[in-house]
Structure 1
Amino acid sequence: MLRALVLSLCLISPVALAANPVFDVHVHLRDGETSLQQYRDDVRAAGLELSGIGVMWFGGPHQARQGDLAKIRAGNDQVIALAKAHADVLPIATVHPFDGDAAMEELARVAAAGVKVLKIHAHTQGFDVSDPRVEALARRAGELGITVLMDNANILPGDSEKLFNLVVRVPKTNFILAHIGGLNFRFWNILALARTADGFGFENLYFDISATVLVVADSPVEEEFLWTLRNVGLDHVLLGSDYPQIGLDATVKAFERLDLSDEEKAKIRSGNAMTLFGR
């Protein structure tokens, strides 16, 4: 009896999954159309239905380094082309904050091409979040209607605090913080207190729970994680896989084990992203 209960909690039928579409906001595609097809094959094999895919070209061994302007432009063009060919693809571009005017020009160029999300990664691109050039880039992104997606796995002490300060300084730009702080997710409960101060609504701050959800589901800290999601605001939580490092199948199965209502899960699976990106 107990074994049957455990299996029912851990295994979710393809039919049940397909009935609940997912907007995967965190997908790395190394080889354009070829990688997209592999991703779709994996999703289909898992019995999942997609409402959208946030696609970026860089990550892992493929980085957008300072001064590598031609590579950055080519990578951005690749995801823009995918979005033109596939209605469910949300193109996510990148620049390097330290490329100055060239970064600002590329940001404006991709915005004109329909890009709505910019991904920058402090540790892999080698910049400090507190650098004024990062703030200037984020501010300009907001002016262009672009959401800024940044890594928040809390790799080094102080990472979350620096991101908090950036969001405070640039209130007119929407931010998505990937991984919601990793196992330092508790930090973000500070939002519940920050919002008691006038002018600190943090309506511009969103989180994707990619990777972290795999660790916390069915763990001793799951209740604290859910408490955090409610404190940051369930309307501001998104689902992402961080493919190809982590598949959407494993991500969704972990997510479905969280003790959330069907309505709450529907928001996080797809609804919040559809609203944020106007889809």
Structure 2
Amino acid sequence: MNIDDLVAIDIHTHAEEPCCTHRDDGYNEFQAGMARYFCNPAGADGMLPTVQQTADYFRERRIGAVIFPVDAERETGFRRYSNEDVARIAAENSDILIPFASIDPAKGKAGAREARRLVRDFGIKGFKFHPTMQGFYPNDRSAYVLYEAIAEEGGVALFHTGQTGVGAGMRGGMGMRLKYSNPMFIDDVAVDFPDMKIILAHPSFPWQEEALSVATHKPNVYIDLSGWSPKYFPEILIKYANTILKRKVLFGSDWPAITPDRWLDDFAKIDIKEEVRPLILKENAKALLAL
């Protein structure tokens, strides 16, 4: 990866299409609901690019991309996509893709062993957690055996925070409970794993100030700006991004729900200082990931 040739690094993209297997029953309907929530004109099909298609899209735009699946099979019934397959395709496109993995913390010691193997044998740089989709509080001690493995292997932990588009508008919210994704629960994780880099994903509606508080207080906590069009960013988030958190805020799109084209176009129109823009778009991620 030639970092100098990239115009940006997207810290938050999803591998939504299975690499080597078929889609589960109900998965198209789930993705159609996501497309409606994010006003994606392509509908469910637009929410399901392959990992290779993702690489091709980002390469055309000279944007590096952190990509990951989400292991939420216990709560959703949808089988998880293979971390190894995502890592393999990322390795074939290492000029543009940076592989993260996802392991449900409920897998306990088996999950911890998997995490170590993925870092050592597949070049995984970090791990994605979605407390609402995975149905757990981030500070639940049962998850700590997995965090310990990630921390010891030098991995990054990226946590979904705030409301989610998953299940939005669907009956019962598709069983998704928003309470798990309050960023204040991750404050405990930052205390107990002070050397593990942690990313709070998304503007954390309705807990934005909690997220800013944790990121301001804990040196190892960062915020990514994915999942929302920048035109909807709250004023306080923009204020902190321009000042005391300017080196801890990261560009993320939430591809394929939100495309980088849409995000970057809206980002150009909000009141971010010119000297801060390159920090958010690339330099902060470069430093965090030691690229």
Q: Alpha-carbon deviation of 1:37?
A: 4.3
Q: Alpha-carbon deviation of 1:79?
A: 1.5
- For residues 273 and 215 of structure 1, the distance between their equivalents in structure 2, rounded to whole angstroms, comes to 22
Report 1:88-103 matches (<5 A): 88-103=96-111
Tell me the TM-score normalized by structure 2: 0.73
- Percentage identity across paired residues of the two chains: 24
Q: How many residues align?
A: 240
1:126 maps to which of 132, 135, 141: 135
AA in 1 matched with 2:114: E
* 1:25 is aligned to 2:11: yes
- For residues 164 and 263 of structure 1, the distance between their equivalents in structure 2, rounded to whole angstroms, comes to 29
Unaligned runs of 5+ in 1: 1-18, 196-201
Report 1:40-189 matches (<5 A): 42-43=57-58, 48-50=61-63, 52-58=64-70, 63-66=71-74, 72=80, 75-87=82-94, 88-112=96-120, 113-154=122-163, 155-156=178-179, 159-189=182-212
In the alignment, is the contact (CA less than 8 A) between 1:28 and 1:244 conserved in 2? Answer: yes
2:51 corresponds to:
36
- For residues 243 and 110 of structure 2, the distance between their equivalents in structure 1, rounded to whole angstroms, comes to 39
AA in 2 matched with 1:276: L
- For residues 227 and 36 of structure 1, the distance between their equivalents in structure 2, rounded to whole angstroms, comes to 35
- For residues 85 and 147 of structure 1, the distance between their equivalents in structure 2, rounded to whole angstroms, comes to 22
In the alignment, is the contact (CA less than 8 A) between 1:43 and 1:249 conserved in 2? Answer: no
CA RMSD across the alignment = 2.8
Cα 1:136–1:184 change in 2 (3 A) is: same
- For residues 258 and 9 of structure 2, the distance between their equivalents in structure 1, rounded to whole angstroms, comes to 15
- For residues 162 and 232 of structure 1, the distance between their equivalents in structure 2, rounded to whole angstroms, comes to 22
Q: Alpha-carbon deviation of 1:43?
A: 5.0
Q: Alpha-carbon deviation of 1:22?
A: 1.6
1:229 corresponds to:
241
1:216 corresponds to:
232
Cα 1:233–1:190 change in 2 (3 A) is: same
AA in 1 matched with 2:193: V
Cα 1:183–1:265 change in 2 (3 A) is: farther
Q: Which has the higher helix share?
A: 1
Tell me the TM-score normalized by structure 1: 0.76
2:219 maps to which of 203, 207, 222: 203
